[in-house]
């Protein structure tokens, strides 16, 4: 899987900001593995199976993108995938502190692992999964924040526009 990169996340739910990063990464790298973290210790709004379905529906136009789940350490998953490239999206400067810490930790665990940061499009710089969930919970408009499959599921769960 030379020149394949992993884009990890919980994607609970996937947002248009995630889509932006994945589309751009798919043009840069030969392949992109969108890796959904399965972490039983974290409370998710949607189970893994639904998050995978949202991703499949939202990314079917990207032939060099595959969707997988993982648990445990990202460095171990990267090794299983046969790649040393990680993609992380940055929305604003505050994201960098956390991402820098994670990158250095991963590098301590696997010195060959490289992280590539992609800045999100400015129109998505405010957007996060938690914000989309919150807007949906108050029955606000979310069609411009999340892809159709995720937006429909959120509307069904909370009601709304």
Grade residue 2 by pLDDT with cuts at 50, 70 and 90: low
- Residue 42, domain member (yes or no): yes
> Domain total for the chain?
1
Q: Give the pair of three-digit tokens for residue 1.
A: 């899987």
In this prediction, residues 31-50 reach a mean pLDDT of 92
Q: Which domain holds residue 55?
A: 4-126
What CATH number does the domain containing 38 carry?
Answer: 3.40.50.620
- Residue 87, domain member (yes or no): yes
- Residue 108, domain member (yes or no): yes
> Which DSSP symbol is given to 122?
G
Grade residue 9 by pLDDT with cuts at 50, 70 and 90: very high
Grade residue 161 by pLDDT with cuts at 50, 70 and 90: low
* Model confidence pLDDT, tens digit, residues 42-61: 889 999 999 999 999 999 99
Indicate the burial class of 161 (C-beta count within 10 angstroms; 0-12, 13-18, 19 or more). exposed
* Model confidence pLDDT, tens digit, residues 67-126: 999 999 999 999 999 999 999 999 887 788 899 999 999 999 999 999 999 999 999 999
Enzyme catalytic residues: 18, 42, 91, 129
- Residue 121, domain member (yes or no): yes
The pLDDT assigned to 1 comes to 44
Average pLDDT score, the chain? 93
Q: How far apart are the first and last CA of the chain?
A: 42
- Residue 72, domain member (yes or no): yes
């Amino acid at each position: 899987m030379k020149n394949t990169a992993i884009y990890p996340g919980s994607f609970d739910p996937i947002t248009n900001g995630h889509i932006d990063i994945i589309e751009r990464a798919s043009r840069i790298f030969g392949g992109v593995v969108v890796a959904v973290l399965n972490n039983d210790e974290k409370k998710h709004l949607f189970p893994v199976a639904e998050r995978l379905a949202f991703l499949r529906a939202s990314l079917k136009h990207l032939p060099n993108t595959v969707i997988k789940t993982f648990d445990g350490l990202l460095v171990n998953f990267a090794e299983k995938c046969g790649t040393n490239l990680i993609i992380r999206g940055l929305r604003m400067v505050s994201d960098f502190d956390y991402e820098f810490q994670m990158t250095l930790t991963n590098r301590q665990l696997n010195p060959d692992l490289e992280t590539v940061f992609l800045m999100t499009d400015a129109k998505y710089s405010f957007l996060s999964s938690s914000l989309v969930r919150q807007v949906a919970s108050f029955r606000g408009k979310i069609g411009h924040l999340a892809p159709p499959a995720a937006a429909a599921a959120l509307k069904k769960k909370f009601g709304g526009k």
